[in-house]
Amino acid sequence: MANGRHPAGGARGRRRSAVLGAALGGCALVAAGTAPAAAHPGGPGRATAYVALGDSYTSGPGIPRQVDAGCARSDHNYPSLVAARRQVAAFTDVSCGGATTAEMWQAQGANPPQLDALDRHTDLVTVQIGGNDVGFGSIIGTCARLAVQDPAGNPCERAYTASGHDQLALTVVRTAPKIDRVLRAVHARAPHARVVVVGYPDLLPDDGSGCFPQVPFAQKDFGYLRDTEKRLNLMLRLVAGVNRAAYVDTYGPTVGHDMCKAPADRWIEPLQPSSPAAPAHPNAKGEAAMAEAVLDRLDRGRGRD
């Protein structure tokens, strides 16, 4: 459907909503108990028809060589590296900078709806989406603007919780049904595919420390923003489990290489990049690290997430 709405309907839909709601409501308790991914074709060494869906963290803006200016897509992004290592029989990368879940069903400039790349012959799909639905870009802009008012405090956290509720945490929860619809649509269009949901890498120091002004957030907002990203990744893991998809943790493997680190050590560029990449995005080393995480998950075959 063009509007991206795919209601499950009836008792089955209500059961699904109940399971999804319970998972998100108790996410801290059930993170280790998500369902194992369903067994699909595409074990180690098997040639596959691979389709990559996603946003700019997938497409690799600024990383040489850019092969699609409209989507800021690199031929050294993690899907390209995965496809080369696995020597897939067919590879289609429709990831696009700025994509939200809506772009799964609607065109984005010259890039067709991403789900259109799937068919019954697809047997491997990676999906990395949700960051723009949560509002990564606007969050960065808002927190950088507020930081000048109180660089030693937490003005960003105060702004997002002024209503008495954490608006970013609520946005993550509200994004979950969108991810759920995407994964159901992927299974419907590529019923034989192994589906892999890829999480987001570590953007800020995992210990909550800051690096103002290199990354222009207030000192006590770094931990809040780190926790927001962790909530997003946990939601993606839980929704993947509900939808019989594998989940790839790219956060853990990139800890210690966030945008606060020295240029030689960082895999995520700060707001003023020193390596070819978009601000607050993975550089070539970051894309390679995500590729390794995806390959490791694929090589574990039918193991649990």
Quick check: is 6 catalytic? no
Q: Kindly name the residue from 76, 187, 257, 281 that is annotated as catalytic.
A: 281
Q: Kindly name the residue from 40, 56, 95, 257 that is annotated as catalytic.
A: 56
Strand partners for 74:
66
Output DSSP code: residue 42.
Answer: -
Quick check: is 74 catalytic? no
Residue 37, SS3? Answer: coil
Strand partners for 198:
248
Phi-psi region of 109 (alpha: psi -120 to 50; beta: other; left: phi over 0): left
> Chain centroid to CA 153: how far?
29
Q: Which single residue is written with the structure tokens 């029989």?
A: 89
Q: Please report, for residues 11, 44, 120, the alpha-carbon distance to residue 187 in angstroms, rounded to integers and kept in the order given.
A: 20, 21, 10
Sign of the C-alpha dihedral computed for residues 186, 188, 190 and 194 taken in this order? positive
Catalytic positions? 56, 281
